[in-house]
Structure 1
Amino acid sequence: MFTPFAYRRGPLTAMFFATVLAAGCTSVPPEDIIRQTLTERLPNLPKIDEVSKTPMEGLYEVRVNKTEIFYTDRAGNYLIQGELIDTKERTNLTEARVEKLTALPFDSLPLQDAFTIVRGNGARKLAIFEDPNCGFCKRFERELEKLDNVTVHVFLYPILGPDSVVKSENIWCAPDKARAFSAWMTQNVVPPKASCDTAALQRNVAFGQQNRISGTPTTFFADGTRVAGAVPLDRIEQALAAAK
């Protein structure tokens, strides 16, 4: 992640504004001014992917590295790193924007490398990338057990160390993957040693790295929405309803 630092007003920026003023160009789009200013003053800033207005008057979003969000004024004089909160609607606009940017079409998920847990009629669906040694994942699984009428595709994603790989392999090779996984995640019943073809786990890690799945649990809903972390049950229900 880029870390903002003190900037300088360089000759290119000065020339740019001098040209604008001399030509009487008072309608230069703020997006162009912001790009020019930040590129000149912050040479270590990654290439700007997009500059766009936010709901807050005079505040612009600057997007870099595909999903990194910063904010700035219309002249690019200040750069803000943080979250934008809509106090009226009580929503985190930054979080919502990042979720939209990191969405992944559900049908692009390699479901053949996951195992499935069905509860009730299984009408609703979601997919989760989880490390068996992730404490947040264990807490999340206890919440998921309260869901009904849902199909859960579980991707074992061993990224927390060698023991995660061992546990993932044993779960993947168990006669009943879902039962072995649930027993470990909710009751701490260690999955018995087993062996089989575990190439799926390597593909899961490669897929996650390609798609910026940097932590567990990471959940994908039917509409492609991505949610990181062990979120509360009501948040899951909201996302499932919205995914329809």
Structure 2
Amino acid sequence: MRALRTSVLLVAFGVASLTACAKVPSDAAPRASTLSRTAGSTAEAKPAAGTPDARAVDAVRALEPRAVVEHVGAAPIPGFREVVVGGQVAYVSDDGRYLFIPGSGGALYDATQKTNLTEASLGKLRSALVAKIPASDRIVYAPANPKHRVTVFTDISCGFCRKFHSEIAEYNRQGIAVEYVAFPRAGIGSEDYRQMVSVWCAPDRRKALTDAKSDRPVPARSCKSPVDMQYDIGQRAGLTGTPMVLADDGTQLGGYVPPARLRELLDKLEPAKTPAAG
């Protein structure tokens, strides 16, 4: 199994800034995570070596060295210890191998292999769902000979979606083909939804999408658009914010990810080539 440390754990432990717009609109301005800590900024738990508590702390540090464990102790689940990192609760198996982060976006990690077991399962589901979206229903920006391809669930009004699109030429220069699908995060029937239908019904979808993300007027249109179907697939794929960037195997690579960093992540995901026989 490939070991790719995704942003899920970093966000959960508050050491990465949010890079996606929430699915449900909020009047609150984006804020830095209250979980963000650095070593020495708060009291750290220092259990005796060789104990289940110590193994729990080691498991957290194996996955994210910057995390500060503020508390470790008995968990309500037999065979697990409870750890607190900046107010976020996680559960670690007594042998220190498995770490579970509950709640929205929660995941189960193998601390030994440094893999997100939940993401591996969800990736298969996402890949199967996205495969149902015909190529003709996507808005594609691609270089002549792409090295990688990503599917991006996007919205028109989301600031992170706009930032991603403003760098579309650089993603292409990195050898990445970007295939957009629609996710009006305000929901079916919203103004975002109507604008996205107009984009997908436009004779030049690429120009219409760029115009919409740049606050240039897009003529209102209606047609038998794929927006409803793509929105439904985004919901079923577990989307919680836009953009959601997916590799071909369904691995979620972000939110907004800078072009060079996205190329790095995609290169790491690429299966090792099998040496030719002979």
TM-score by length of 1: 0.60
Aligned equivalent of 1:243: 269
Which deviates further from its counterpart, 58-67 or 172-181? 58-67
Q: Residues 119-147 of structure 1, C-alpha deviation per residue, up to 9 Å, x if partnerless? A: 23234211000011111100111223212
Please, which of 185, 203, 220 is the counterpart of residue 175 of structure 1?
A: 203
1:196 Cα offset (Å): 1.0
Aligned equivalent of 2:78: 37
Structure (1 or 2) with the greater helix fraction:
1
Q: Distance in 2 between matches of 1:60 and 1:242?
A: 23
Tell me, yes or no, if the aligned pair for 1:126 and 1:219 is still in contact at 8 Å: yes
Residue 214 (1) aligns with residue 252 (2): no
Aligned equivalent of 1:3: none
What residue ranges of structure 2 are gaps of 5+ in the alignment? 1-73, 81-90, 271-278
Tell me, yes or no, if the aligned pair for 1:215 and 1:228 is still in contact at 8 Å: no
Q: Structure 1 pair 204/213, CA: closer, same or farther in 2 (3 Å)?
A: same
Number of residues of Structure 1 aligned to a counterpart in Structure 2 = 178
1:118 Cα offset (Å): 1.9
Aligned equivalent of 1:89: none
Please, which of 151, 155, 163 is the counterpart of residue 127 of structure 1?
A: 151
Q: Structure 1 pair 217/36, CA: closer, same or farther in 2 (3 Å)?
A: closer
Q: Structure 1 pair 188/36, CA: closer, same or farther in 2 (3 Å)?
A: closer
Please, which of 197, 204, 216 is the counterpart of residue 189 of structure 1?
A: 216
Aligned equivalent of 2:192: 164
1:173 Cα offset (Å): 0.3
Q: Distance in 2 between matches of 1:66 and 1:132?
A: 24
Q: Distance in 2 between matches of 1:60 and 1:107?
A: 27
Q: Structure 1 pair 142/191, CA: closer, same or farther in 2 (3 Å)?
A: same
Aligned-partner SS, 2:257: coil
Q: Which amino acid aligns with 2:141?
A: I
Q: Distance in 2 between matches of 1:229 and 1:210?
A: 17
Q: Structure 1 pair 160/52, CA: closer, same or farther in 2 (3 Å)?
A: same
1:115 Cα offset (Å): 2.4
Q: Structure 1 pair 120/183, CA: closer, same or farther in 2 (3 Å)?
A: farther
Structure scoring higher RCO (CA < 8 A, sep ≥ 6) equals 2
TM-score by length of 2: 0.53
Q: Residues 181-211 of structure 1, C-alpha deviation per residue, up to 9 Å, x if partnerless? A: 12322x322221122112x211112111112
Larger Rg: 1
Q: Which amino acid aligns with 1:232?
A: P
Q: Which amino acid aligns with 1:175?
A: P
Give the RMSD, CA atoms, in angstroms: 3.6
Tell me, yes or no, if the aligned pair for 2:153 and 2:182 is still in contact at 8 Å: yes
Q: Structure 1 pair 237/191, CA: closer, same or farther in 2 (3 Å)?
A: same
Q: Which amino acid aligns with 1:103?
A: G
* Percent identity over paired residues: 23
Aligned equivalent of 1:111: 133
Q: Residues 78-109 of structure 1, C-alpha deviation per residue, up to 9 Å, x if partnerless? A: xxxxxx9xxxxxxxx68x56644542464641
Q: Distance in 1 between matches of 2:224 and 2:97?
A: 52
What residue ranges of structure 1 are gaps of 5+ in the alignment? 1-32, 40-50, 72-83, 85-92
Q: Distance in 1 between matches of 2:236 and 2:253?
A: 17
